[in-house]
Amino acid sequence: MAALLDPVLLFFALGIVAGLMKSSLEVPPQLSRFLALYLLMALGLKGGFALARSGLTLDIATALACAVVLSVVVPALAWVALRRLLPPFDALAVSATYGSVSAVTFITAMHVLEQQGTPAGGHMAAAMALMESPAILLAVASAQVLRSRLATLPAGEHPPAATTGSATALGTALREACTDGGLLLLMGSLLVGLASGEAGARSMTLFTGDLFKGLLAFFLLDMGLLTARQLGSLRGLPPALWLYGVGGPLVHATLALGLAALVGLGAADGAVLMVLAASASYIAVPAVLRHAVPEARPAVYVGLSLGLTFPFNLVLGIPLYTAAARALLPG
């Protein structure tokens, strides 16, 4: 209950309420972009400083390996479940969305654990980065295979083909997946923190410490407003998708918990791994899918991830995942 009363999460709830009330409250887009970049930079630096203190240990390598495994297994499981509920391209897009990760959910989980006095390792920022792109690449490649299969069907038995050339769409998607600005800033900041070490940590204390919580609360206020605007798109979705929007993350988190228990991850790192597996991208992946898989409907994959899964994870999921990790994992 105490976690739900954290000011950061309460500002997210305030944003949703203000959005539903059609309030004039808004955060300018440029400020919202700045806040997102600040949070990624601060988190990357924190991770780099922590890695500089600990070094690359077997436990860290194991956690990163778990992240890579989940980045492939989660979208594959999502595809198996969703292909029975949605047209093929929509199923691919939603699979990619849920196979990737939400940086905001991850940052919030790291903050919650830190506030509770059980911070996760800084290397989990690298784990998040590793889980960002594989689902995008799998979706784009699968879409190419799907188009090839549909091209052999008689006219009228498949949806219109992509308006951009297939090779161009694939190349653009691959480039964007590997050069996403937020991802590069996160990894670059982690390397800066790793290189500068303890001296860098002391000089950046204000930037990565006292400012972080206030600016995270401001950013989540904006995310609450954005979430409220997406709720309307949920009305047209099949009821089974609503169930997947909550049940899918719970299954993915359970898979991560089992993997963490199998390899002996600690409770804090295991909780973050669960959060990553349960989260869904609503920024990076949709930006790529809009032109790489134009046959898919953004209202489905953005509406579901941002309108349902994101608030569920932020308000209920994070406390649930951390409690399960503490109950079943060491330390």
Per-residue pLDDT of 103-148, as tens digits, reads 899 999 999 999 889 999 888 988 988 888 788 888 878 888 888 7
For the cut 80, the answer to whether the pLDDT of residue 168 exceeds it is no
Q: pLDDT tens digits for 271-328?
A: 999 999 999 998 778 877 887 788 888 888 988 999 999 999 999 999 999 999 999 9
List of residues 6+ apart from 46 with CB closer than 8 A = 122, 125, 193, 208
Position 160 scores a pLDDT of 47
8 Å CB contact between 92 and 142? yes
The pLDDT-based confidence of 331 (bands split at 50, 70, 90) is confident
As given in the structure block, the two tokens for residue 287 are 């930006």
- Alpha-carbon Rg of the chain, whole angstroms? 20
Each residue of 311-321: pLDDT tens digit?
Answer: 999 999 999 99
Express each pLDDT in 76-87 by its tens digit. 999 999 998 899
Question: For a pLDDT cut of 90, what percent of the chain falls above it?
Answer: 47
pLDDT in the model for residue 161: 45
* Domain ranges across the chain: 28-150+165-328
**pLDDT (tens digit, 9 = 90+) per residue, 11-33?**
999 999 999 999 999 999 899 88
Say what the pLDDT of residue 164 is: 44
Across the chain, what does the average pLDDT equal? 86
**Is the pLDDT score of 176 beyond 70?**
no
Rounded to whole angstroms, the Cα distance separating 32 from 48 reads 24
- Write the secondary structure of the chain as one string of H (helix), E (strand) and C (coil): CCHHHCHHHHHHHHHHHHHHCCCCCCCCHHHHHHHHHHHHHHHHHHHHHHHHHHCCCHHHHHHHHHHHHHHHHHHHHHHHHHCCCCCHHHHHHHHHHHHCCCHHHHHHHHHHHHHCCCCCCCCHHHHHHHHHCHHHHHHHHHHHHHHHHHHCCCCCCCCCCCCCCHHHHHHHHHHHHHHCHHHHHHHHHHHHHHHHHHHHHHHCHHHHCHHHHHHHHHHHHHHHHHHHHHHHHHHHCCHHHHHHHHHHHHHHHHHHHHHHHHHCCCHHHHHHHHHHHHCCCCCHHHHHHHHHCCCCCHHHHHHHHHHHHHHHHHHHHHHHHHHHHHHHCCC
pLDDT for position 206:
87
Banded pLDDT at 94 (limits 50, 70, 90): very high
- The pLDDT of residue 3 is 58
- The residue among 51, 49, 45 whose CA lies nearest residue 199 is 49
CATH 3.30.43.10 fits 28-150+165-328, yes or no: no
User: 71 CB contacts (<8 Å, ≥6 apart)?
Assistant: 99, 100, 130, 131, 134, 135
pLDDT, residue 260, reads: 97
Tell me the mean pLDDT in the region 41-70: 89
225 neighbors 18 (Cβ within 8 angstroms): yes
Which pLDDT belongs to residue 162? 46
Q: Does the structure show a pLDDT above 90 at 267?
A: yes
Using the predicted structure, report yes or no on whether residue 248 has a pLDDT greater than 90: yes
- Does the structure show a pLDDT above 80 at 41? yes
So what's the pLDDT on residue 4? Answer: 61
* pTM of the model as a whole: 0.84
Percent of the chain at pLDDT > 70 equals 89
Mean pLDDT within 175-192 = 77
pLDDT tier for residue 163 given thresholds of 50, 70 and 90: very low
Q: How confident is the model at residue 230 (pLDDT cuts 50, 70, 90)?
A: confident
Residue 99: predicted pLDDT: 94
